[in-house]
Amino acid sequence: MTTTQPLTDQQFLQRLAEQAGKDGTKTFAVTSPATGQTVVDVADCNADHARDAVERSVKAFDNWRKVNPYERSRLLLAWYDAIMAHQDAIGKIISAEMGKPVSEARGEVAYAAAFVQFYGEEAKRIRGETFSSQFSHKRLYAERMPVGPVYAITPWNFPAAMITRKVAPALAAGCTAIVKPAAQSPLTAVFLAYLWEQVGGPADALSVLTTRDARGVSEVMFDDVRIRKLTFTGSTSVGRSLYAQAAKTLKKVSLELGGHAPFLIFDDADLDLAVNEVIACKFRNAGQTCVCTNRVYVQKGIADAFTQKLVERVAELKVGDPANDATEIGPLVDAAGLEKVQSHVKDAVNKGAQLHIGGNANELYYEPTVLTDVRAGMQILEEETFGPVAPIILFDTEEEAIHQANDTPYGLAAYMYTNDLRRMHRVSEALEYGIVGVNDGGPSAAQAPFGGIKDSGLGREGGHWGLDEFLEVKYVSVGLREPA
């Protein structure tokens, strides 16, 4: 690392402010959802910038793919150190640009860095295979090669972790990456790319295009056959459209899309622990998380006790300025996000749901909310709310709970709470989801596979599965016949 002292968030913003618009590129303002004030202006890249980024990425790929894996590993681990040295500064930037409470944002930085560390280690472990031939003069093997330059479209809700979860395995595999972060929270991406360069990472191996013209920039990527892979985290509807566009140039695709996670609480569960896990799962990032529970199914025998305890805990959640260390729930990211949450709660209440706590908004802050008497036909049971609302639905039997949990086009994450080992296996096997948390409302980890089935996407991020997404298999057959 060339910087001796880590940058503060203010020094980083100062650098951005000095650079903005200097080369004639238009800029746009990144605003804080907490204050409505501009945090800083950044470049508003267009199709020309995208074309330039492709040229640079393609050229860089030619070198980066040949860099020894031990050197790729060294650079990634140095990047990990740099990110952790800037944990506080990056956490403050995340908090400023998208409203995540700063203590949670620091946690996201550690989570994001864990992907860089994990793939820094994995870079050295990319292995091939030898296998036998039916012909004794032949030797056969399969080796792994990087897929090529990658286009990564990342969401606003995890401005650090969703970048490193894609870019770290890409770089470890020998791919180069062009990242288009969400327009609501592009600053963290710029910060991460800056640190990559600071530790000696080749600049063009990782480019960031901040833009409000997602369509214009993406079109360049989809039309260019040299971009060999699309990796995307975001909504199912956008993912579906990107999948179709990526088909034009037959790119490899990973899609991490929406979820509608059920959380099943059986009457043998330890109620206090179950309430804690539901709080952690539901109210993390103010409910703006693909894997947070959207439907809390509670067995009838414990429903009243569970609801009371949940409401008591929700009442204790500290809503407020995300820059304060004690804050647990910050603002929603923008007016569209707020509108969706409000419309889901209104629809549920109009159709007979009971509001136990919450239900009000103040600017972009939405009170943590608990609803009961939630039934089929309410929007909240069908669409991702992406807000701090816990709808409780009652059930009688295990079969009924499983049926309701699976009755959705989504298949990202599901959770359950039980003390019965046999039930744990039965239910976990029956749940049609990519991730199941058993007595665990936060199963995400750098070394574990993350991803969904059905409308929740394609492919996996994290662990060795996440690295495979950036590797192709090359089969080599060697004939050893001697000349006659």
Looking at 19-27, 44-52, 58-66, 156-164, which segment touches ligand SIN (CB under 6 A)?
A: 156-164
By CB under 6 A, residue 154 contacts ligand SIN = no
Binding mask 50-79 for ligand SIN (x = CB under 6 A): ------------------------------
Which residue out of 104, 108, 256, 461 is catalytically annotated?
A: 256
> 474, exposed or middle or buried, with CB in 10 Å at 0-12, 13-18, 19+?
exposed
Min dist. Cβ of residue 187 to ligand SIN (A): 19
Closest by CA to 225, choosing from 210, 253, 247, is 247
Taking CB under 6 A as the criterion, the residue among 192, 444, 455, 463 binding ligand SIN is 444
Min dist. Cβ of residue 244 to ligand SIN (A): 22
Min dist. Cβ of residue 166 to ligand SIN (A): 11
By CB under 6 A, residue 105 contacts ligand SIN = no
Min dist. Cβ of residue 291 to ligand SIN (A): 5
3-state secondary structure at position 146: strand
Which CB atom, from 174 or from 459, has the smaller least distance to ligand SIN?
Answer: 459
Under 8 Å between Cβ of 43 and 186: no
| HEC readout, 182-250 | CCCCCHHHHHHHHHHHHCCCCHHHEEECCCCCHHHHHHHHHHCCCCCEEEEECCHHHHHHHHHHHHCCC
Which CB atom, from 291 or from 298, has the smaller least distance to ligand SIN?
Answer: 291
The alpha-helical segments, DSSP class H, found in 7-153 are: 9-19, 47-64, 69-85, 87-98, 102-122
- Cα–Cα distance between 166 and 235 in angstroms, integer? 17
The alpha carbon torsion through 312, 315, 318, 319 (nearest 10 deg) reads 150
Min dist. Cβ of residue 157 to ligand SIN (A): 6
By CB under 6 A, residue 158 contacts ligand SIN = yes
Query: Running DSSP on this structure, what letter comes out for residue 278?
Result: H
Task: Report angle CA 94, 6, 212 to the nearest 5 degrees.
Answer: 35
Which CB atom, from 7 or from 435, has the smaller least distance to ligand SIN?
Answer: 435
Please report, for the chain, how many H helices and E strands are present, in that order: 15, 22
By CB under 6 A, residue 231 contacts ligand SIN = no
Q: Could you give phi then psi for residue 106, rounded to 5 degrees?
A: -65, -40
> 137, exposed or middle or buried, with CB in 10 Å at 0-12, 13-18, 19+?
exposed
Which CB atom, from 153 or from 161, has the smaller least distance to ligand SIN?
Answer: 161
Looking at 4-12, 29-37, 154-162, 313-321, which segment touches ligand SIN (CB under 6 A)?
A: 154-162
Min dist. Cβ of residue 354 to ligand SIN (A): 28
Taking CB under 6 A as the criterion, the residue among 95, 207, 231, 233 binding ligand SIN is 233
290 as an active site residue: the answer is: yes
Min dist. Cβ of residue 444 to ligand SIN (A): 3
Within 237-276, the residues that bind ligand SIN by CB under 6 A are 256
- Cα–Cα distance between 122 and 116 in angstroms, integer? 10
How many residues of this chain interact with ligand SIN, rule: CB under 6 A?
10
Which CB atom, from 265 or from 291, has the smaller least distance to ligand SIN?
Answer: 291
Q: Could you give phi then psi for residue 440, rounded to 5 degrees?
A: -150, 110
- Cα–Cα distance between 185 and 155 in angstroms, integer? 8
Is the C-alpha dihedral spanning 237, 242, 244, 250 positive or negative?
negative
Residue nearest to ligand SIN (CB): 444
Looking at 74-82, 155-163, 190-198, 351-359, which segment touches ligand SIN (CB under 6 A)?
A: 155-163
- Cα–Cα distance between 359 and 390 in angstroms, integer? 11
382 as an active site residue: the answer is: no
Which residue out of 45, 281, 290, 292 is catalytically annotated?
A: 290
Binding mask 281-320 for ligand SIN (x = CB under 6 A): --------xxx-----------------------------
The alpha-helical segments, DSSP class H, found in 370-414 are: 398-406
Which CB atom, from 144 or from 260, has the smaller least distance to ligand SIN?
Answer: 260
Q: Which two tokens stand for residue 224?
A: 């260019």
- Cα–Cα distance between 16 and 146 in angstroms, integer? 33
Which CB atom, from 82 or from 291, has the smaller least distance to ligand SIN?
Answer: 291
By CB under 6 A, residue 157 contacts ligand SIN = yes
Min dist. Cβ of residue 250 to ligand SIN (A): 26
Query: Running DSSP on this structure, what letter comes out for residue 300?
Result: G
Q: Could you give phi then psi for residue 207, rounded to 5 degrees?
A: -115, 150
Min dist. Cβ of residue 450 to ligand SIN (A): 6
Q: Summarize as ranges the residues that interact with ligand SIN (CB under 6 A).
A: 157-158, 161, 233, 256, 289-291, 444, 450
Name the residues annotated as catalytic.
256, 290
